[in-house]
Amino acid sequence: MSMTPEQQAEIEHARAQSTNTRRPSVGPLEDILYQAVPLLDHGFVRVIDYMGDDSAVVQAARVSYGRGTKKVSEDKALIAYLMRHRHSTPFEMCEIKFHVKLPIFVARQWIRHRTANVNEISGRYSILDKEFYVPAPENLAAQSVINRQGRGHVLEGEEAARVLGLLRDDAERAYAHYGEMLNEDEAGQVLDPERQGLARELARMNLSLNYYTQWYWKTDLHNFMNFLSLRADAHAQWEIRVYAEAMLDMLDRWVPHTAAAFRQYRLGCATLSAAGLAVVKRMLAGETVAQEDSGLGKREWGELMAVLGRE
């Protein structure tokens, strides 16, 4: 992870501050507040702020005046009920804000989750850092022959070295040309006083998708869990999954009862279609069911069999 001494000093200063408040605060999340969790080769994610906790979910569901006199076990049961029956609005009462540094191609996947507030660093006003993502050798894989958006076998030997070299060389060359067009270096110093640089908003288009960007990303708890359910899934692209998995730990720290219900009823569960459920009922009744007479297509049949452990 690349962080300047100034940025690290800013984090340490923020973490040294303490404010008395009547609002609920969450100790385990406070422990990591502002701290950057390093991800990939130059990226990170850190919690900047949050509002609410498990009790806020319960309070919204009951529309009560305060935390009330309910037992913790009753609160946990209510949260589980809300999660199980997809009552989403109580979870919208909590919010969390992150500072994320990530490759541009990961950001373009991430931004598909539109139910959030986002403010990204602007290449119109700032000179972007010379930081680009290069996969570790174990994550350098060929295109899958059975999945158009997945990876196959890991590249090795000369083939892997060649691809890694191309990625580095192309990114280095792109940044060199970016600086040449700007007529500025990374610190904003003019390279050649005899010529005028290209506008930053134009020069930036030369950079490749593996360069890093940064943004502040704020969302409510309900939509945060929607993000995690897709991006922490084994089918998600690995580079965005590492961010989601780090944020899962932050969810555990922030709202442990909600996180437990989320893992139970969202991450660890399977959803069946009406036709798939009918197949399961037939099997439980002792009937031998084949794909041809199941009413399911080959793909859905395969997915159902995988869920049932009958691959």
> What is the spatial distance between Cα 246 and Cα 269, in angstroms, rounded to a whole number?
21
Amino acid letter for position 297: G
> What is the spatial distance between Cα 183 and Cα 99, in angstroms, rounded to a whole number?
30
The tokens of 16 are what?
């040294």
Q: Which of 231, 266, 282, 310 is catalytic?
A: 231
**Of the candidates 211, 254, 218, 228, the residue with the CA atom closest to the CA atom of residue 40:** 211
> Is residue 263 annotated as a catalytic residue, yes or no?
no
**Of the candidates 268, 264, 259, the residue with the CA atom closest to the CA atom of residue 53:** 259
Q: For residue 129, give the DSSP letter.
A: P
> What is the spatial distance between Cα 85 and Cα 261, in angstroms, rounded to a whole number?
11
Half-sphere exposure of 36 (CA within 13 A, CB side): 21
- Work out the end-to-end distance of the chain between its first and last CA atoms, rounded to an integer number of angstroms: 41
Half-sphere exposure of 3 (CA within 13 A, CB side): 19
Say what angle helices 54-62 and 72-84 make with each other, to 10 degrees. Answer: 70
> What is the spatial distance between Cα 105 and Cα 113, in angstroms, rounded to a whole number?
14
Give the total residue count for the chain. 311
Contact 163, 244 (CB under 8 A): no
Amino acid letter for position 89: T
**Catalytic residue numbers, as ranges:** 231
